[in-house]
């Protein structure tokens, strides 16, 4: 039986994942804290008092700034603090309620990225806003068997974290998710999810999340060797409950 293998959220868009032991799903929302922050280019106009969905090119992401994978983020949600480590050493810690700390964090990001950013980068957030690649607040689901099949086609094992999914599923047939259509429903644990669409992949997946090295061309390989450049699906929560690894995943027939 297919089951939830692992659950991840990404507190800062473009930075590394945080593995969760469980997650509460809420209708119409993504995972709490997922993409709660982003690193905006200095030229990006983002108003936290009136947040709007912006294209990923307005922010620093692995697609254009693979070196971001060198930074590992720790988010202390209760304390409102972010820590950044690089090569195993903490290089920055900031209390996000303290403007001086935030300014210092932005200064660090400016120095770290250098001339690759458009203007001085800055950390941005807004209450309840999710810096998703799509307009909807949703989750992404990845079939680990499909990741393995792609890796076999490339001749190397692929870390599923390249695909930055929220819910990784084990026990499905490879590529079965490509047969799921918009409106199909899944039962994950006691939660009910609706398939929105396939996830088209960008150059961010070419970056090894451990080494920050661009070592493959996944979009081209998916397109040429596996018929279409998609991996995983976006899903919205219809009815929520707590989910955890080991929970069954079933497609609703009918």
DSSP characters for the chain? --EEEEEEE-SBTTS--EEES-EE--TT--STTTT-EEEE-TT----TTS-----GGGB--TTT-GGGGGEEEEEETTTTEEEEEETTEEEEEEETT-HHHHHHHHHHHHHHHGGGSSSS-EEEE-TT----SSSS--EEEEEHHHHHHHHHHHTS---GGGG--SEEEESSPTTGGGG--TT-EEEETTEEEEEEEEEE--GGGGB-TTT--B---HHHHHHHHSSSSEEEEEEEEEE--EE-TT-BEEEPP-
Quickly count: other Cβ atoms within 10 Å of residue 168's Cβ: 21
pTM for the whole structure: 0.94
Give the pLDDT confidence of 142-191 residue by residue, as tens digits.
Answer: 999 999 999 999 999 999 999 999 999 999 999 999 999 999 999 999 99
Using an 8 Å Cβ cutoff, are 23 and 86 in contact? no
- The pLDDT assigned to 71 comes to 93
- Per-residue pLDDT tens, the chain, 254 aa: give them: 999 999 999 999 999 999 999 999 999 999 999 999 999 999 999 999 999 999 999 999 999 999 999 999 988 877 789 999 998 899 999 998 899 999 999 999 999 988 777 888 999 999 999 999 999 999 999 999 999 999 999 999 999 999 999 999 999 999 999 999 999 999 999 999 999 999 999 999 999 999 999 999 999 999 999 999 999 999 999 998 999 999 999 999 86
Q: Hey, what domains does the chain have and what are their CATH numbers?
A: 3-30+134-251 (2.40.33.20), 37-125 (no CATH)
- The pLDDT assigned to 188 comes to 97
- The pLDDT assigned to 199 comes to 98
Calpha distance 141→133 (Å, rounded): 14
- The pLDDT assigned to 160 comes to 98
Using an 8 Å Cβ cutoff, are 112 and 120 in contact? no
Residues with Cβ within 8 Å of residue 54, at least 6 apart in sequence: 44, 46, 131
- The pLDDT assigned to 254 comes to 67
């Amino acid at each position: 039986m297919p089951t939830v293998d692992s659950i991840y959220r990404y507190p800062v868009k473009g930075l590394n994942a945080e593995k969760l032991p469980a997650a509460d799903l809420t209708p119409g929302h993504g995972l709490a804290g997922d993409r709660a922050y982003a690193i905006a280019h200095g030229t990006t106009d983002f108003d936290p008092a009136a947040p709007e969905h912006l294209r990923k090119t307005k922010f620093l992401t692995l697609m254009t700034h693979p070196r971001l994978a060198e930074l590992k983020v720790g988010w202390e949600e209760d304390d409102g603090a972010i820590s950044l480590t690089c090569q195993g050493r903490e290089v920055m810690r900031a209390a996000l309620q303290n403007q001086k700390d935030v300014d210092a964090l932005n200064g660090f990001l400016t120095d770290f990225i250098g001339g690759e950013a458009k203007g001085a980068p800055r950390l941005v957030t807004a209450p309840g806003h999710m810096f998703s690649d799509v307009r909807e607040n949703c989750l992404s689901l990845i079939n680990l068997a499909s990741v393995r099949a792609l890796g076999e086609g490339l001749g190397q094992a692929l870390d599923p974290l390249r695909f930055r999914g929220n819910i990784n599923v084990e026990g499905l047939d490879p590529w079965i998710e490509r047969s799921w259509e918009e409106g199909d429903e899944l039962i994950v644990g006691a939660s009910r999810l609706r398939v929105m669409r396939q996830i088209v992949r960008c150059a961010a997946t070419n970056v090894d999340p451990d080494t920050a090295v661009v070592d493959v061309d996944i979009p081209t390989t998916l397109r040429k060797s596996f018929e279409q450049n998609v991996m995983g699906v976006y899903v919205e929560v219809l009815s929520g409950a707590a989910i955890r690894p080991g929970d069954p995943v079933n497609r609703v027939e009918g």
